[in-house]
Structure 1
Amino acid sequence: MASAIVPAFFGVVSAFLGNWALVVAAVAGASLVFLLVALASIRISDSVSLLIIGIMFGSITGAIVNILQYFSEPEQIQSFIVWTFGSLAGVTWVEMQVMGPIVFAGLILAFFLIKPMDALLLGENYARGVGISVNKTRIAVIISTALIAGTLTAFTGPIAFVGVAVPHIARSIFRTASHKVLMPAVVLIGAAIMLICDIFSQLPGNQNTLPINSVTALFGGPVVIWVIMRSRNVKASFGG
């Protein structure tokens, strides 16, 4: 949402700050939405209700984007629509000089959070008992997620399903909940899957390129369905 606001309404600021304006907007927008969902999760423990709230947040941001498109110029709308398709080819080396350090900083922060997040797997009381600050850890997770997800989305577009499917694939392969194993596994598997999806998006013998969002959805959708069905089968086997 924030990535759409900058080019639509703050063209002067965007022209002056260049790619940094888009990055700041994307990180701020990702932080805001993630913070709202995190605050909702504190008050609501039911996963289904939390999922519905997340969908409602998505609907609200989608409505705001639609309003921005209504008041935008045709050229801005076309540019935004192309951006929503998602693409790795549009990232230049100049943009990499901005995107690379920010994403790297987010990854470094995420790896420093491995021990606190492993402690939180055993519950907040256990984490506090071993000297972990739960609130500081949550804030650091929000910052790390916003830096990585916000920056990548700003430059490559909202590429769906990879962030949802890849962690489940890593858990299924390594059969562990330890972030010490899952963190590097998710990074490597996610990068490999994105490259494979990007290859499939290039139509052989044709100059056209499929929207990478469509390719990742065709890949990630079945994985998410499989994870949900598998979890229900596990619960049923234990009489849950």
Structure 2
Amino acid sequence: MLTEKYKIYNSLPKTLIFSILFIGFIFAFLLDLALGSVHIPLHAVINILLGQEPERVTWTNIILKFRLPKAITAILAGAALGVSGLQMQTLFRNPLAGPFVLGISSGASLGVALVVLTASATTPTLLADLGIISDFGLVIAASLGAASVLGLMLVVSRRVKDTMTLLILGLLFGYATSAIVSILLQFSSQERIQSYIMWTFGSFAGVTGKQLLVLIPVIVLSLFIAVTQSKSLNTLLLGEAYARSLGLTVEKTRFSIITSASILAGAITAFCGPIAFLGVAIPHLCRSVFHTSDHRILIPGVMMMGAILALMADLLSQVGGGAMVLPLNAVTALIGTPVVSWVILRRNSRRVV
């Protein structure tokens, strides 16, 4: 009886936190739809989402055709990058691991660059005609690029035990892939160079409703795979040797985690550009809020918190109003830098103590 009461009491704070996060998510979602170059009242936004007629007909087109796809993309990106970062931090047992820090985003960028920059003069027209098939091609190319770097990092991590050395190697791999992209840029046309540079700034606004038909099932399926990995991720926290003694097939689990993390990071990078810091910062914020390392709680928490932060980053990128929008990577860097700095300083203070 006392045990049951303790369990109920212990679950109340986390239930309350999830409730607060859900309310914050709804508020950020509606705010992202309401604010922009044209300010739309919140009650009008809600009426449009419910299928009712607003005061102005143009508001319906603005929300349904432009802002709703952008907001859905931000939600998917925040959840995907957050979960991808959490998976890598657990797999590498490194608190600073993430899609951007370990060069995963750079690998995905290389995959996209190989498709976009090396295409012949007639290929863009063909890809435009293929529509969804070409979008799948970008997802596959980005995911393969991300998986290549992540697999290489995994091989290196088995020989290098020092976390700082691993991070340095991750940055070096990122620089190497960036160097290859730079070489490709030298042999590309001016129009493609400009398009690729704009893509590297990161944006949620470039994803159309048609492309969401590709992005949504890819991300949802990968997130579902990540949820099913919760027990295995918890076991890996105890170390690979102990995990094997508990009956976990480490190699199979590692492959599943690499596949899921690569697709999550690769798909978002393909459509939104290489978005920095969210994959590193979100898992740490979530651990600090929930005070747990249990992935059964962290994965849904990271999804929700990632969606909120991505929506807020999108809002901050439009803070100036008008047609000008700040680069998304500049905003996420401002959000992520304090969190990553806090993690490094906290680790150093623990070593001193």
TM-score interval (norm. to shorter): over 0.9
Q: Deviations over 1:196-222 (max 9, x none)?
A: 010010134421000010000011011
Aligned to 1:135: 251
Correspondence for 1:10 among 113, 119, 125:
119
1:65-84 aligned within 5 A: 65-84=181-200
Residue 207 of structure 1 pairs with residue 323 of structure 2? yes
Aligned to 1:149: 265
1:201-240 aligned within 5 A: 201-237=317-353
Correspondence for 2:304 among 160, 183, 188:
188
Q: Deviations over 1:162-206 (max 9, x none)?
A: 001111111111111111111111111111000001001013442
Residue 163 of structure 1 pairs with residue 279 of structure 2? yes
1:56-135 aligned within 5 A: 56-135=172-251
| Cα offset, 1:32, TM superposition | 0.4
Count residues with an aligned counterpart: 237
Take 2:250 and 2:138, find their aligned partners in 1: how far apart are those partners?
31
Look up the equivalent residue of 1:125 and give its one-letter code.
A
Q: Deviations over 1:83-128 (max 9, x none)?
A: 0010011111100001111111111111111111111111112211
Take 1:163 and 1:6, find their aligned partners in 2: how far apart are those partners?
25
Q: Which has the higher contact order (CA 8 A, sep 6+)?
A: 2
Look up the equivalent residue of 2:211 and give its one-letter code.
E
Correspondence for 1:20 among 95, 113, 136:
136
Look up the equivalent residue of 2:272 and give its one-letter code.
T
TM-score by length of 1: 0.95
| Cα offset, 1:235, TM superposition | 2.3
Segments of structure 2 that go 5 or more residues without pairing to the other structure are 1-109
Structure 1 residue matching 2:158: 3-state secondary structure: helix
Q: Root-mean-square deviation (CA), in Å? A: 1.3
| Cα offset, 1:227, TM superposition | 1.1
Q: State the 4+ residue runs in structure 1 displaced beyond 3 angstroms.
A: none
Aligned to 2:54: none
| Cα offset, 1:129, TM superposition | 1.7
| Cα offset, 1:234, TM superposition | 2.1
Take 2:197 and 2:154, find their aligned partners in 1: how far apart are those partners?
29
Structure 2 residue matching 1:221: 3-state secondary structure: helix
Take 1:88 and 1:115, find their aligned partners in 2: how far apart are those partners?
32
Correspondence for 1:45 among 161, 171, 176:
161
| Cα offset, 1:30, TM superposition | 0.5
Q: Deviations over 1:3-26 (max 9, x none)?
A: 111011135387144211111100
Look up the equivalent residue of 1:79 and give its one-letter code.
S
Aligned to 2:44: none
Q: Deviations over 1:133-179 (max 9, x none)?
A: 00001000000011111001100111100001111111111111111
Take 1:114 and 1:205, find their aligned partners in 2: how far apart are those partners?
41
Take 1:49 and 1:235, find their aligned partners in 2: how far apart are those partners?
17
* Bigger Rg, structure 1 or 2: 2
